[in-house]
Amino acid sequence: MFLRNFPLSAEDERHFSLASTAKIGGAAFLLKATSALTFGKLSDVWISSGSTPTLVRKTFLAPG
């Protein structure tokens, strides 16, 4: 819900331009994509080293 309304609220309430709103939204998307790939790879390595998938997934889920 937040990201769907983000451009309108950023422009109306925070007085950002459409270009800066796009930059903020793009940066948020890239950060989320990068962290998903990174933590996915880390969890694969952790599971392959012998830990249980449940423990690994719960460990990454808690801070997320």
Distance (Å, whole) CA 14 – CA 21: 10
- The widest CA-to-CA distance across the chain, in whole angstroms, is 51
Q: pTM of the predicted model, to two decimals?
A: 0.65
Cα atoms in the Cβ-side hemisphere of radius 13 Å centred on 46: 16
For 6-20, the pLDDT digits (tens) are: 666 777 777 778 788
For 23-51, the pLDDT digits (tens) are: 888 898 999 999 999 999 999 999 999 99
